[in-house]
Copies of this chain bind each other. A is one copy, B any other.
Amino acid sequence: MALAAALRVPARVLLRAGGQLPGAALGRTEQADGGGDGARRFGSQRVLVEPDAGAGVAVMKLKNPPVNTLSLEFLTELVICLEKLESDRSFRGVVLTSGACPAGGCLMTLTCDYRVLADNPRYCIGLNETQLGIVAPFWFKDTLENVIGHRAAERALQLGLLFPPAEALQVGIVDQVVPEEQVQSTALSAIAQWMTTPDHARQLTKAMMRKATASRLITQRDADVQNFVSFISKDSIQKSLQLYLERLKEKKR
């Protein structure tokens, strides 16, 4: 899915999903060696993980320039890094930092437990699919509706709105807006609060809250993929995407 281009730097908080991701252990994270960070970095150029085993938290930086396009390779790296942390019991929380969050990037953000956005009007967040002439999948819709409610989700999705920070906070698509240099520290504070709850109780609660939405996606996944492929392959839709990309290029000039 194509993504818009402006620089955006939200940080999002993700806590251990308690087996929500496939459990394949991909090797242990290298442990702290006494350095200030508490552990060695790992990952790739596109997904850089800075683990702090002492605090039980890792910061995961998504950098797939120019716009963090969610390619298969990028997503695979992301999942491998998450699984590594997931299988390492010394980690209880992850902070994702990203430089773009329209469409798929926004969806990733919405699955997190807490969202912090840099207070810079150039940074926007939203599901802007209709602006591209395409339609957000039902599980994007369900996830957005869980966060901001039905009416706000309908308006946001019909108009393909990208919310600048103040509006994003007001509609509830992010939880906090802070100066750019405080985004990561704010996310780390938030995750520290979430880690005060016993893990097993919090994980069961989270699973209960998201069960209906997740089940619906799992059940209808194949149909959704087929539906999307046949939709996106239409000449008219391709033309619509083409127009959108051309408008983007013109904006940049």
Contacts and interface: CB of A to CB of B under 8 A. Distances in A.
Given A147-B151, A159-B193, A136 B198 contact: no
A208 B135 contact: yes
A194 interface: yes
A27 interface: no
Interface in A141-162: 141, 145-151, 153-155, 157-160
Contacts of A205: 129-130, 135-136, 141, 157-158
Contacts of A131: 197-198
Contacts of A236: 200
A201 B133 contact: yes
Contacts of A151: 146-149, 172
A64 interface: no
A134 interface: yes
Contacts of A138: 208
Contact of A134 (B129, B153, B201): B201
Judged by DSSP, the binding face of A is: helix
B130 A198 contact: yes
Interface in A108-156: 113, 129-136, 138, 141, 145-151, 153-155
A209 B154 contact: yes
- Most chain B CB atoms below 10 A, which of A159, A236, A240: A159
A79 interface: no
Nearest to A146: B150
Nearest to A152: B172
Interface string A153-178: 11101111000000000001000000
A206 interface: yes
Interface in A194-232: 194, 196-198, 200-202, 204-206, 208-210
B206 A154 contact: yes
